[in-house]
Amino acid sequence: MAKLFARRAPPRVDRLVVGLGNPGDGYANTRHNVGFQVANRLAKRARLEFDTKAAESRIAEGSLGDLRIAIARPQTFMNDSGRAVGKLLDRYRLTPDALLVIFDEVDLPLGKVRLRERGGPGTHNGMRSITSEIGEGFPRLRIGVAPVDPTVEIADLAQYVLSPFASNERADADEMIVRGAEAAEVAVRDGIKRAMDKFNG
């Protein structure tokens, strides 16, 4: 009888991709949720579905080329992302260098994507939560959400990131999300340095 209710062991995974955001329809199209949006796009490219619930996350598991990957969207809300990321690494028995975190960056203009091998969290609360949980030694993909016009000042940062893209920004945002998914795929498949060479120009 015990075997009937035994939990299925998680699959072997080579790489873990985590897109940051807030759960719930009210946040779905906000700037703060571009990490989720890029993760969704990457899963679509790999023909994977977010059909697993574990480690306080929605997870898509499967293959990307010769690699086994998991793409996760933490459901903890942004400021507690580190708790989910720690559980995800434990679930798949991975070290932080096998992780790629995707998040919105207010210091990067809309349309730009940037990859880094490691580093501090900057002003991003989700990244602060993650670095406090697992340290700074993991790759990350920053997705620009700042106004394209550098003279435009953001009066209220929280209100800005929790608002949707303006109608005149949507096309650029959609293109950036596609480019972000491409960058994530290259980072996972070919390594972070190759992705940096290709997308950080």
Catalytic residues: 32
Hey, which bits of 75-188 come out as E strands? 99-109, 113-116, 140-146
Q: Please report, as a single letter, which amino acid is at residue 46.
A: A
Task: Calculate helix-pair angle for 192-199, 170-190, nearest 10 degrees.
Answer: 150
> Hey, which residues does 59 pair with through a beta bridge?
52, 72
CA separation for the pair 153, 138 (Å, rounded): 31
Residue with tokens 């939560």: 129
CA separation for the pair 173, 37 (Å, rounded): 10
Closest CA relative to residue 177, chosen from 68, 33, 63:
33
* CA distances in angstroms from 115 to 102, 127, 160, 162, 195, listed in the order given: 9, 14, 23, 23, 7
